[in-house]
C-alpha cells in the first residue's frame, strides 16, 4: 500500500537517480579519503608477493629457475643467474627498463619497451625481494635531483668524472666495451633507474654501494647528468658527443670529401661558346 502510494507520488526514474547519486557520493568520498598506501591495487604484501611469484613462474623461471636459484649450463656458465638477494631495485631496473624478459640471448640485454605494467613490476620486485635481502627500490627523495644546489651539482660532476666517464663517456652518451658490449647512453635514462643501476650493478656495470658512494653523492651525480641533458651545444652540432669517432668521420669523409669535389668542379672546363 505504502509502496504503491509512493511510486505514484514520485517520478518513476527518481529511484534510479537516488541510487546513482548515492554511488557517486560514495565513490567520491572513497577516492578523497582512501589512504595513499592503498595504491598498490589494494593488495597486501602477501598478495603482492603471490602475484609476483605467479608472474615470475610464467615469465622468468625458464632461465632463472623455478625458485630463482639460477640455471647453470653444461659448461658451468650462467644460463640465467640466481636472483636470491639481488633485491627489489635490481628487478625494478631490469624489468622496468625492458631489459628483462630477455628477447634473445646475446652479448648484452638492450633497453627496450617494458613488457610489464608498473603494478606487475612492483609485484615481481616484491617477490624477488622476499627471497633474500638486497637493495630496495629507492624512494623519490633519494634519487630526485630537483632542489640540488650548484655546489651539489659540482660535487656530482667530480664523482661522475671519476667513476662514470670511463665507460659512459664525458657527456654521458655511452661508449664501447670489449667483445661487442657497450655502456649505454645515460641521457634518456630516468633518475630512479640511474640510482638503481649504481646500487645493483646490472650486467657488466660494477656496483657502487651506498656505504662508499653515499646516497647524497648518487643524487648529486644524477643531478649532474640531468643538467647535461639540458646543456646547450655551444659549438653547434656535437655529433653525438662521441669524440674522435664521429668527429673524424665527419671531418675526413664529409669535410675533406666536399673540398675535393669542389676543387674538381672548379678545375673543370667552363662553358665554351662553341659547345653550346
Partner 1 sequence: MTDHNLPTDGDDERNDELEHRDPALARGPEEPIPNPGLPEHEPRPTDIDEAMERRAELQVAAMFILAALLSVGFCVAYFAIDRDAIVAGTSASNLALGMTLGLALLLIGVGAIQWAKKLMTDHEIIEYRHSGASSDEDREETLTAFRQGAEESGIARRPLIRNSLIASVGLLGLPAVVALADLGPLPGDSPAKTVWRPGIRLVQDVDGRPIRPQDVQFGQLINAEPGIFFEQEIGGEVIEPEYEGVALNNAKAKAAVIVVRMRPDDINPAEGREDWGVDGILCFSKICTHVGCPISLWEQQTQQLLCPCHQSTYDLADNGRVLFGPAARAVPQLPIEVDQYGYLVAKDAFQEPVGPSYWERG
* Interface of this chain with partner 1, residues 87 to 126, rule: CB under 8 A: none
By the rule CB under 8 A, 154 interacts with partner 1:
no
For partner 1, the binding residue among 72, 102, 205, 239 (CB under 8 A) is 205
**Nearest CB to partner 1, comparing residues 19 and 260:** 260
User: Cβ(225)–Cβ(172) under 8 Å?
Assistant: yes
3-state secondary structure 140-205: HHHHCCCCCCHHHHHHHHHHHHHHCHHHHCCCCCCEECHHHCEECCCCCCCHHHHHHHHHHCCCCC
By the rule CB under 8 A, 212 interacts with partner 1:
yes
**Nearest CB to partner 1, comparing residues 25 and 166:** 166
By the rule CB under 8 A, 155 interacts with partner 1:
yes
By the rule CB under 8 A, 266 interacts with partner 1:
yes
Q: Shortest distance, CB of residue 79 to partner 1, whole angstroms?
A: 14
Nearest to 204 by CA among 166, 162, 156: 166
By the rule CB under 8 A, 180 interacts with partner 1:
no
**Nearest CB to partner 1, comparing residues 30 and 234:** 234
By the rule CB under 8 A, 273 interacts with partner 1:
yes
User: Cβ(45)–Cβ(126) under 8 Å?
Assistant: yes
Nearest to 162 by CA among 212, 202, 196, 111: 212
> How many C-beta neighbours within 10 Å does residue 30 have?
9
By the rule CB under 8 A, 274 interacts with partner 1:
yes
Q: How far is CA 109 from CA 65, 90, 166, 274, in A?
A: 19, 14, 20, 67
**Nearest CB to partner 1, comparing residues 142 and 217:** 217
Binding site for partner 1 (CB under 8 A): 155, 158-159, 162-163, 166-167, 175, 177-178, 181, 183, 201, 203-209, 211-213, 217, 232-237, 266, 270-276
Amino acid at each position: 500500500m505504502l509502496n504503491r502510494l509512493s511510486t505514484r507520488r514520485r517520478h518513476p526514474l527518481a529511484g534510479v537517480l537516488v541510487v546513482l547519486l548515492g554511488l557517486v557520493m560514495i565513490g567520491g568520498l572513497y577516492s578523497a579519503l582512501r589512504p595513499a598506501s592503498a595504491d598498490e591495487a589494494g593488495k597486501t604484501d602477501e598478495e603482492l608477493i603471490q602475484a609476483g611469484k605467479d608472474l615470475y613462474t610464467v615469465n622468468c623461471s625458464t632461465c632463472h629457475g623455478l625458485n630463482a636459484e639460477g640455471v647453470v649450463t653444461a659448461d658451468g656458465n650462467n644460463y640465467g643467474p640466481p636472483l636470491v638477494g639481488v633485491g627489489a631495485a635490481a628487478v625494478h631496473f631490469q624489468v622496468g627498463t625492458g631489459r628483462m624478459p630477455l628477447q634473445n640471448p646475446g652479448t648484452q640485454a638492450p633497453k627496450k619497451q617494458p613488457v610489464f605494467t608498473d603494478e606487475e613490476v612492483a609485484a615481481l620486485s616484491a617477490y624477488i625481494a622476499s627471497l633474500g635481502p638486497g637493495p630496495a627500490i629507492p624512494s623519490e627523495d633519494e634519487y630526485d635531483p630537483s632542489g640540488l644546489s650548484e655546489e651539489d651539482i659540482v660535487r656530482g660532476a667530480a664523482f661522475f668524472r671519476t667513476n662514470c666517464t670511463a665507460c659512459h663517456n664525458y657527456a654521458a652518451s655511452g661508449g664501447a666495451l670489449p667483445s661487442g658490449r657497450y655502456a649505454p647512453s645515460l641521457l634518456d635514462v630516468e633518475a630512479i633507474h640511474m640510482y638503481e643501476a649504481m646500487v645493483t650493478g646490472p650486467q657488466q656495470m660494477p656496483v657502487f654501494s651506498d656505504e662508499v658512494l653515499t646516497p647524497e653523492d648518487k643524487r648529486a651525480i644524477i643531478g649532474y647528468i640531468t643538467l647535461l641533458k639540458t646543456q646547450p651545444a655551444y659549438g653547434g652540432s656535437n655529433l653525438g658527443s662521441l669524440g674522435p669517432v664521429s668527429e673524424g668521420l665527419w671531418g675526413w669523409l664529409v669535410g675533406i670529401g666536399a673540398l675535393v669535389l669542389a676543387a674538381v668542379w672548379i678545375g673543370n672546363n667552363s662553358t665554351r661558346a662553341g659547345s653550346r
